[in-house]
Amino acid sequence: MIYDNRPIGVFDSGVGGLNFAKEIKRLLPKESIVYFGDTKHLPYGEKSAEAIKKYSKEITQFLISQNCKAILVACNTATANAIEIIKEVAGEEILVVDVINPVAEKVAYELRTKIGVIATKATVNSCAYKKTIRKFNKHIKVVEVATPLLVPIIEEGLYNTNVSRAVLEVYLSNKKLEGIDSIILGCTHYPLIQKEIEQIFEGKVQVINSPLIVVNCLIYQLHQRQQLANNNNPYYLFYLSDYTDNFHKISKRFFGNKIQLQEKDLTNF
């Protein structure tokens, strides 16, 4: 068996990708992770496609400079708007896995009739989920709803409060979502409010487990390329373009004291 102990690069605009990094650590405990949270430019969901492409390109170059063997684009907004440029910069040698395609393909082959997607404005405007799911199965109805207040609420640490509950009640009562059998949390921040969403739907709507699906896809592809790690002492290096207490708190909660957190501005990188 051949192993590759270089780290997996993971990026997002903020804390959202930590939900996926945590799943990597759970399922692949021998992998090292280099994480980049672009908190300086958050929220990506309100930015132009051009800006999202620029940030994504710079972060990809940075993760390559950190010797990453693979990059998990743990941001739906970056996936929907910048995946081509990310793949171009990464080239053939570095595996790129995104958070939309594995989920869309999986749900398209399951028994579902109407799927709801909640996501940032930039993801909803791209129709990425609808297009990708319907590429595999034209019979599924897909409705996408923008929920732009959720990222700032989560980044401010205001989830599991009256604030998040009230905002979710308004968003999830949107007429378009009537009759859905499942819902995709189309923003990587949203697993942090998954329980609240489940409570509002009273268990009648299945919430798709995107981190599990995506990390399984990553495992499969690393295995195919003989690039899984075999390191009993992996490291977890976190870079933030702008330090936030909330990021520190969540990364510590997910990774314990093993994390190394550093501020890193990619301007002129």
Residues making up the annotated binding site are 12-13, 44-45, 76-77, 188-189
**Identity at 76, one-letter amino acid code:** N
Within 133-152, the residues that bind ligand DGL by CB under 6 A are 151
Question: Looking at 68, 75, 127, 217, which residue is catalytic?
Answer: 75
Within 1-30, the residues that bind ligand DGL by CB under 6 A are 12-13, 16
Does residue 75 touch ligand DGL according to CB under 6 A?
Answer: yes
* Strand-by-strand arrangement of the 236-240 sheet: 95-98, 70-73, 8-12, 33-37, 236-240, 259-263
Q: By CB under 6 A, which span of 131-139, 171-179, 181-189, 212-220 interacts with ligand DGL?
A: 181-189
Q: Is 187 one of the catalytic residues?
A: yes
DSSP 116: E
Cα-based torsion angle of the residue sequence 186, 187, 192, 193 in order, rounded to the nearest 10 degrees:
-60
Does residue 164 touch ligand DGL according to CB under 6 A?
Answer: no
Cα-based torsion angle of the residue sequence 23, 101, 209, 242 in order, rounded to the nearest 10 degrees:
50
Q: How far apart are CA 94 and CA 89, in angstroms?
A: 9
Nearer to ligand DGL, 188 or 244 (CB): 188
Does residue 187 touch ligand DGL according to CB under 6 A?
Answer: yes
Nearer to ligand DGL, 72 or 205 (CB): 72
Does residue 240 touch ligand DGL according to CB under 6 A?
Answer: no
Q: Given the DSSP bridges, would you call strands 33-37 and 259-263 parallel, antiparallel or unpaired? A: unpaired
Q: How far apart are CA 228 and CA 42, in angstroms?
A: 32
Does residue 196 touch ligand DGL according to CB under 6 A?
Answer: no
Q: Is 75 one of the catalytic residues?
A: yes
List residues near ligand DGL by CB under 6 A.
Answer: 12-13, 16, 42-45, 75-77, 120, 123, 151, 187-189
Q: Which residues are catalytic?
A: 75, 187
